Structure 1
Amino acid sequence: MTTDTTGSQLAGRREWLGLAVLVLPALLASLELTVTHLALPAIGRDLGASSTQLLWIVDGYAFLLAGTLVVMGTLGDRIGRRRLLLGGAIAFSLLSVIAAYAPNPEVLVAVRALLGVAGATLMPSVLALTVALFTEPRQRTQAVGIVIAAVSAGTAIGPLVGGWLLDHFWWGSAFLLPIPLMLVLVVVGPATLPEHKAPGRRGLDVPSAVLSIATVLAIVYGLKQVAAAGPAVPAYGAIVVGLVCATGFVRRQRRLADPMIDLRLFAGPAFTTATLTLVLGIFVLWGTNYAVAQYLQLVAGLDPLTAGLWTAPPALGVIVGSLGATRLARRIPAGRIIGGGMLLSTLGFLILSRIDADTSLGVLVTATIVVSAGLGPMMALATDIVVASAPADRTGAASSIASTAPQLGGGLGIAILGSIITAGYRADMQGTPHPAGENLTAAVAVAAHLPPHEATTLLTAARAAFTNGFSISALAAAALTALTATAVLAVLGGRRAGVEGR
């Protein structure tokens, strides 16, 4: 490293090489979900998975990932972030092999949940190591933007490579895709990444870990059940249990000298607003990506590879938005860029709300590009604001929260927006014989065994029901982005990236 005129340490060749290695697990963060989205129709057909099982194959990963992120971020502070990253990469690779050869939906759901736990070791370590490698504010903003762009690149690469694999091999081949990335990380990581621990941290507080996991899982499960099946006592009971656990978790953090989450950080409006922006922004992005992947294959009737090609442009929109935003933030306050971008994404969601089974793919992809380009700046700049707004001695805790927030939002987005689509589908398909009335995947499978006229009638109704649910979820996303943009412009309107925001 060298020192600039302000006394900050400038990153050198070793730090940039370390960032190149950190890009690999960042790619995996979105690669895993986008590939799974494309594989769902084939999994449903070959394993005979129900609609609930298909949703849990995605949700199980996202929920356990979100539920254990705080724990894993804290564990990395104690045992070392590089050690946690490499150990998680090995576990992820082994579990991916088991998932690829799962004999039934039950095994796949269980392994996907364990993959979520292994995946939770990756992003907190990536972001924490990035912040540790780049201490100069402008370089840190640029490095964070590159990491976010890598996450977005996974959404572009995953469908293309995963679609090709699904076209030529069985669905399990898609789960083997992350293994080469993890092998490179395990081999090259020890030589390029420094070990980094938070100084003076004590052992992991087990009660806090249990409470944090129980909070996320119980609340997400309850919300998912309400959205999919309507009001019910068990669903509301789960939400109440989650809120009780959350209350216990917060109280315990306030009493501990060395808490898992430093709640004092949320006293700053900039920190809180930026964190909530990350949660809600990724909530709508991941939830919509899940729906679009289903639409392209089951409504538009595309094969996995062609569907992957159509999802690449929106992913490039996120990359352009996140990288461009870090440059634009040198001249324009980051808060205005984030707020303006989210208003742009609102327009994209409003276009998506008008989609039906006869809409051209050009209109669909254009709308998703608008959404992605609008949300790209949020991903890079809000992350930087979260880290930059924390005191210097608490940047490790802030980076853990910055990596937890979007993953939690993504898990919630897939669960809740996906459940809204399922609820809309079931409402429109009431009276349809089981299992066609459960989900569009089942309807397509049933139609394959019907006479042509009956098959056409069933598929027309099923596709219309799916797109109606899709429209409702897009309207919900539009409302969320509009409200978030308003809050960002009010609180962060004059906020600049990097150290200037402190």
Structure 2
Amino acid sequence: MPAGISERRAWVGLGVLTLPVILVSMDFSVLYLAMPTISRSLHPSATQELWILDVYGFLIAGLLITMGNLGDRIGRRKILLTGAAVFGAASVAAAFAPSAAALIAARALMGVGGATLLPASLALIANMFPRSDVRARAIGVWSAAFAGGAAIGPVVGGALLHHYWWGVVFLINIPVLAALFLLAPFVLPEYRMPATHPFDVLGVVLSLLGILPLVYAVKSAASHGLSVGNVLLGAAGIALLVVFFAHQKRAPAPLVNLSLFANATFSVCIAVALVGMMAQGGMSYLINVYLQSVQDFDVLNAALAGLPMAVTVAAFSIGASRVAAWIGVRRALSLGVALAAAGNLGLLALNVTSPLWVFLVLTAVTGIGYGLQFALVTDAVVGSVPPQHAGAASGISETSFELGTALGLALFGSLATAVFLSRGDGRFADSLGATLDLADGGAGSALAAAAKEAFVDGMHAAALAGGLALAILSVVVALVMRDRT
């Protein structure tokens, strides 16, 4: 342990660090349940609805690398608490937003605050747990907290919305943040990297100008299909990222140390983060539609059906270090990716009338794979750099996770939609929900039955593509990654 940090204090500090992590992940998912109520109250336009849902993720994705570097320089505990203050103030503003525009602004500010919390908490773990084996267990707990927050968000949100107005989904952040402010000064150490060069402001600007348009273009393509506008926007984002990386080669204190990618472990782990979240992001969306529109579960019961996967993700995130100690990191990571591939491919067994237990078993197996791979990836990335650069490295890995989710929704969601529409011979609307509305919700109508079958065919195509990508990546991990003990 670092000087002055006892092992007991470090583990208590880890518990405190899970608080903002749970909140950030919950706020990705909880708003989907609240949107119908928000729409009735604030009357947003269709475009405003999309911005209410997406602006939070946009700002987090765009600012993770910047905030990770900033925390390394000005102090990781300081930026964690500053970000928590911004997140809390924005949560209150969101809860009492008088208009859709005000809610969009508050959600954007929540994204700014949230972007500080993930890299700062991971970097502090690197300080608090310098021993690699103990740090791996700590990062497993951190990963489990993130997965748990995403899973319980819809359940908690559904229960609260049953009794209270929509603003309560934001106010639940306040008592958790209050606990963070009370405990953090006593159990979390402060760390900052001695700065010998000016902060890379040009790099910050270029990274935002590259990442934000690219993520927006990908999400827009997922929601509305390809268009000239989002293709040009995505191309502009990629071009600016090329300029950003060229600048990073010359910058005296770059935001992204490109030499990290010469490390086979680091590069493979970033690939696993990107492809793994592509598969998970795409399939999470599709299986939620499957449960609600094909199997006819309500929103809360669909959220409850997702809990077994969340439990296995959390359990195997915590246990990933033990598996790695038993069979080696390379084999454990390859196994995790392979299990995620098997779970995705197993979704090919689902049909319109499949019993729920089949879905639960398949997604639980998938959760084992994702739990192993995400915990091991995070530990390998943070552990592959010196502790003073842990914030920057965690910003890179978390950006890969965010970009992977957006790409998964766009690529696998678009594939599923293309297959769905191809089965309709012009009879279907743009989505399964809209088609069922055309059929007046009649589950026995020919149109509704055909649409459900077509959606399952599209989900199968996406599951096959995601499963094959993960299977190939599992082999790459086994062949390329140097084992670590």
Taking structure 2 as the reference length, what is the TM-score of the superposition?
Answer: 0.89
Output the CA distance in 1 between the equivalents of 2:18 and 2:155: 19
Conserved 8 A contact 1:148-1:379: yes
Output the CA distance in 2 between the equivalents of 1:221 and 1:321: 32
- The CA deviation at 1:22 is 0.2
Confirm whether residue 487 of structure 1 aligns to residue 476 of structure 2.
Answer: yes
| Most deviating of 205-214 and 176-185 | 176-185
Taking structure 1 as the reference length, what is the TM-score of the superposition?
Answer: 0.86
- The CA deviation at 1:402 is 3.2
1:3-14 residue pairs with structure 2 within 5 A? 11-14=6-9
- From 100, 114, 118, the counterpart of 1:119: 114
Deviations 1:402-452 (A, max 9, x none): 3333233234334444444455555656756xxx934445556676xx5x7
1:399-414 residue pairs with structure 2 within 5 A? 399-414=394-409
Aligned equivalent of 1:467? 456
Aligned equivalent of 2:329? 334
TM-align CA RMSD:
3.1
Aligned equivalent of 2:310? 315
**CA distance 1:438–1:165, shift in 2 (3 Å):** farther
- The CA deviation at 1:302 is 2.4
Aligned equivalent of 1:130? 125
**CA distance 1:430–1:219, shift in 2 (3 Å):** farther
Aligned equivalent of 1:437? 429
Amino acid aligned to 2:472: L
Aligned equivalent of 2:190? 195
Confirm whether residue 286 of structure 1 aligns to residue 281 of structure 2.
Answer: yes
| Most deviating of 104-113 and 244-253 | 104-113
Aligned equivalent of 1:24? 19
Conserved 8 A contact 2:350-2:359: yes
Conserved 8 A contact 1:88-1:121: yes
Aligned equivalent of 1:349? 344
Output the CA distance in 2 between the equivalents of 1:69 and 1:307: 31
**CA distance 1:445–1:189, shift in 2 (3 Å):** farther
- Partner of 1:330, secondary structure, is helix
Aligned equivalent of 2:260? 265
- The CA deviation at 1:465 is 4.6
**CA distance 1:316–1:270, shift in 2 (3 Å):** same
**CA distance 1:158–1:236, shift in 2 (3 Å):** closer
Aligned equivalent of 2:244? 249
Conserved 8 A contact 2:348-2:460: yes
Deviations 1:286-340 (A, max 9, x none): 3322333333333333233322221111001101221222112112111111111
| Most deviating of 45-54 and 72-81 | 45-54
- From 31, 55, 58, the counterpart of 1:60: 55
**CA distance 1:66–1:453, shift in 2 (3 Å):** closer
**Unmatched segments (≥5 aa) in structure 1:** 4-8
Conserved 8 A contact 1:317-1:372: yes
Conserved 8 A contact 2:436-2:442: no
| Most deviating of 12-21 and 231-240 | 231-240
Deviations 1:371-408 (A, max 9, x none): 11111111111211122223465444333323333233
Output the CA distance in 2 between the equivalents of 1:230 and 1:247: 25
| Most deviating of 318-327 and 126-135 | 318-327
Deviations 1:41-77 (A, max 9, x none): 6556776778766555443322221111111112212
| Most deviating of 356-365 and 114-123 | 356-365
Aligned equivalent of 1:85? 80
**CA distance 1:337–1:239, shift in 2 (3 Å):** same
- The CA deviation at 1:270 is 1.4
1:86-235 residue pairs with structure 2 within 5 A? 86-102=81-97, 108-200=103-195, 202-226=197-221, 230-235=225-230
- The CA deviation at 1:89 is 1.5
Output the CA distance in 2 between the equivalents of 1:272 and 1:90: 34
What percent of counterpart residues are identical? 40
Conserved 8 A contact 1:51-1:439: no
- Partner of 1:120, secondary structure, is helix
- Partner of 2:84, secondary structure, is helix
